Amino acid sequence: GAVVSQHPSWVICKSGTSVKIECRSLDFQATTMFWYRQFPKQSLMLMATSNEGSKATYEQGVEKDKFLINHASLTLSTLTVTSAHPEDSSFYICSARKGLAAAYEQYFGPGTRLTVT
């Protein structure tokens, strides 16, 4: 199979604090991971593309200093929301791709619900 997990599944934090979300590929090595944000009743919006061992590529309008992405290994990528504010409350979803030869295959995690109070 190709299973992607996220931790935590939900988190509540206070405004001004930082929160880290983990994305793990459990049974395969992911050369590329993607982070999406989804607001209620809206679509998934790609935030950034993360390649193992290199800096993430952020989509236009996404603040790289606010959403820190680290892809330190082939099975783990982390998204840190720094100085979180209520408007950052959202559903964050990651996906992982097995490799360049499998460019079309993306496997999605279950998502992390972030609520900033």
Partner 1 sequence: GESVGLHLPTLSVQEGDNSIINCAYSNSASDYFIWYKQESGKGPQFIIDIRSNMDKRQGQRVTVLLNKTVKHLSLQIAATQPGDSAVYFCAENRAYGGATNKLIFGTGTLLAVQP
Judged by the rule CB under 8 A, the positions of this chain that interact with partner 1 are 4, 6, 34, 36, 42-46, 49, 57, 91, 93, 95, 97, 100, 103-104, 106, 108-111, 113
Q: Which is nearer to partner 1, 84 or 94 (CB)?
A: 94
Q: Which is nearer to partner 1, 87 or 100 (CB)?
A: 100
Report the nearest approach of partner 1 to the CB of residue 83 (Å).
26
SS3 state of residue 100: helix
Report the nearest approach of partner 1 to the CB of residue 42 (Å).
8
Report the nearest approach of partner 1 to the CB of residue 81 (Å).
18
Query: How many whole angstroms from its chain centre is CA 37?
Result: 8
Q: Which of 8, 1, 55 is nearest to 25 (CA)?
A: 1
Q: Which of 49, 45, 36 is nearest to 100 (CA)?
A: 49
Which is it for the CA torsion 39, 44, 45, 47, positive or negative? positive
Q: Which is nearer to partner 1, 84 or 93 (CB)?
A: 93
Cβ neighbors of 69 (< 8 A, separation 6 or more) are 35, 48, 50, 56, 77, 78, 79, 80
Report the nearest approach of partner 1 to the CB of residue 45 (Å).
8
Q: Which is nearer to partner 1, 28 or 34 (CB)?
A: 34
